Amino acid sequence: MKNDFKFYQNLPTNNLSLQDLLGEKGLFEVVPADWYVIVADVQNSTGAVDRGLHQDVNLIATGSIITVLNKVKQQYSKLEIPYFFGGDGATFLVPGELLEPLRETLGNYRRHVQQTFGLLLKVGALSVAEVYRDDIQLLIAKLKLNDYLTIPVVLGNGLKHAEALVKARFYEKEEDAEIRPVDLTGMECRWNEIAPPQEEEKILCLLVSCPDEGRQAIVYQAVIEEIDRIFGRLHQRQPISEGRLKLNLTMAKLSREMYARLGKYDLLYLMKSWLRSFVGRFYFRMYEEGKTYLHKVSQLSNTLMIDGNINSVISGTEYSINELLHFLEKKEKAGDLTFGVHITYSSIMSCYVLDLKNNHVHFVDGTEGGYTTAAKMFKAKLDGGIF
């Protein structure tokens, strides 16, 4: 096994602000050339959202991460790999030794998704060496956001380049392979739509891209500084707050999770899930351990991602949102960046919960299409010739 197998795991964790990290390019490391970018992406997710299937699309994206992480844990229990949630898919950086096991795992998951949801999940991989052959950068660092959550931060257009090539090369094959049970242990989708922390606030789903690798860090640094100035630091603009978290006991909600995990109807699973959620309503409000879990949910909610673009879900007033949009429009007209946004009334959250102490993470998106709708605006601008 090569020394770079634990490349990401062995990266130092930076305990500083994101804008300070972006200002110190020396803190970023080049991703090893023998690693791979793996992409899972729901085909025509915009059309699915338009048909009212946003929560299915979101669950499929979450499930792609969970099935990969469970496979990694099965083979290498302590290994960390960086991954990026995109609302309608996910991207992973993995060492070469994991390529085939994970490609097989996602291939099986892809068949499960097609049978269960009737949606097509594109799955593919590209070597980092091929990214570098095209003279494109792929740099990564680790950033500690709070006491519980550390995220990967990527500079360069490597991931986006790999995603574009994987999607372009993807073709749907007739597959006779048997669909094995998927391992989605820990997948939960039991929260109601989550209103912003304050009544007067809305939810902003934001996508910002600067394709100029030479200026990317400084442009993103300016954007993050402006977001901090307008909305406050990450914990102040966090869309997930303890007081707004309410478990959903409807069979429709629990059935969606059941089919996502099992691909079939299972009365015992449904009743156990309902009972756990019913008891959870009291546990989270009346017991100290439950209250601690709710606090950690907000801390372990993934609402900021830097994968060569800025992706974030933010709560703020209409005035604050308009102030940020004015700033971004000026930057866009100057040719510094392009952006897409979606403004909505609530967040949705899907979860990966292995225990109620520290081993859980929460994937946040906006209602009414969230990141997918923001990406639709973003792509329309590119097609219109902004860059």
Per residue in 190-230, pLDDT tens?
Answer: 899 999 999 999 999 999 999 999 999 999 999 999 999 99
Q: How many CA atoms lie within 13 A of 228 on its CB side?
A: 12
Angstrom distances, CA of residue 68 to CA of 47, 63, 101: 26, 8, 9
Angstrom distances, CA of residue 329 to CA of 201, 322, 334, 335, 340: 22, 10, 9, 10, 10
**Residue 266 is assigned to a structural domain of this protein:** no
Low-confidence ranges of the chain (pLDDT < 70): 1-3, 173-176, 384-387
Amino acid at 313: V
Range of the domain at 117: 11-174+182-247+287-383
End-to-end CA distance of the chain: 43
Q: Is-contact 158 31, C-beta < 8 A?
A: yes
**Residue 344 is assigned to a structural domain of this protein:** yes
Amino acid at 268: L
**Residue 27 is assigned to a structural domain of this protein:** yes
What confidence score (pLDDT) does residue 254 get?
86
Q: Is-contact 304 311, C-beta < 8 A?
A: yes
**Residue 255 is assigned to a structural domain of this protein:** no
Amino acid at 375: A
Taking the model in full, what pTM does it have?
0.93
**Residue 331 is assigned to a structural domain of this protein:** yes
User: How many domains are contained in the chain?
Assistant: 1
Angstrom distances, CA of residue 239 to CA of 128, 147, 196: 34, 18, 5
The string of DSSP codes covering 294-349 is HHHHHHTEE-EEEESEEEEEEEEEHHHHHHHHHHHHHHHHTTS-EEEEEEES-EEE
**Residue 329 is assigned to a structural domain of this protein:** yes
**Residue 265 is assigned to a structural domain of this protein:** no
β-partners of residue 348 are 365
What confidence score (pLDDT) does residue 176 get?
64
What confidence score (pLDDT) does residue 21 get?
97
Long-range CB pairs of 289-293 (<8 Å, 24+ gap) are 289/356, 290/356, 291/242, 293/356, 293/357, 293/360
pLDDT digits (tens, 9 = 90+) for 124-166: 999 999 999 999 999 999 999 998 999 999 999 999 999 999 9
Question: What is the C-alpha to C-alpha distance for residues 51 and 47, in angstroms, rounded to an integer?
Answer: 6
**Residue 3 is assigned to a structural domain of this protein:** no
Instruction: Locate 61 and state its tokens.
Output: 């994206």
